[in-house]
Amino acid sequence: MRIEPFSPRHAAGIADLCRDLGWPSYSDVDTVLKGCCAAGVIVLVAVVDDGSVVGFAQVMGDGVVQSFLAQLAVAATHRRTGIARALVDQAFAASGTERMDVLTDDAEPFYKSFPHKTKLGYRIYPA
């Protein structure tokens, strides 16, 4: 397994992974391409020897102080192998920021394992 910067050749693999996880937002290849190539976005991809995508991390930030881990996904077949931690560590370093915020529905124990301060958070939607 290796971690590499996103390129368009990874788009279908990310879309497949998101579909497998039941994440509709990034299950379309065109959306993946637009979202992963947008300004201020860093995406790292975990791939296995045959080039299959088994994980990815998407970080958005200002490149100086603040970043946000928008998405982190690892295929069920490759979990608990260190891929998620490697993706978070490397994406945070690539962001060049002093801090990174995270929202989670179900991975609190994982994120608590990083040096952190707990903050109250919200996800705001259009009215």
* Band of pLDDT at residue 12, cut at 50, 70 and 90: very high
DSSP string, 3-70: EEE--GGGHHHHHHHHHHHT--TT-SHHHHHHHHSSTTEEEEEEE-TT--EEEEEEEEE-SSSEEEEE
One-letter identity of residue 17: L
pLDDT (average), residues 105-122? 87
pLDDT > 90: what percent of the chain?
Answer: 80
To the question of pTM greater than 0.85 for the whole model, the response is yes
pLDDT (average), residues 94-103? 94
Structural domains of the chain, ranges and CATH numbers in brackets: 2-112 (3.40.630.30)
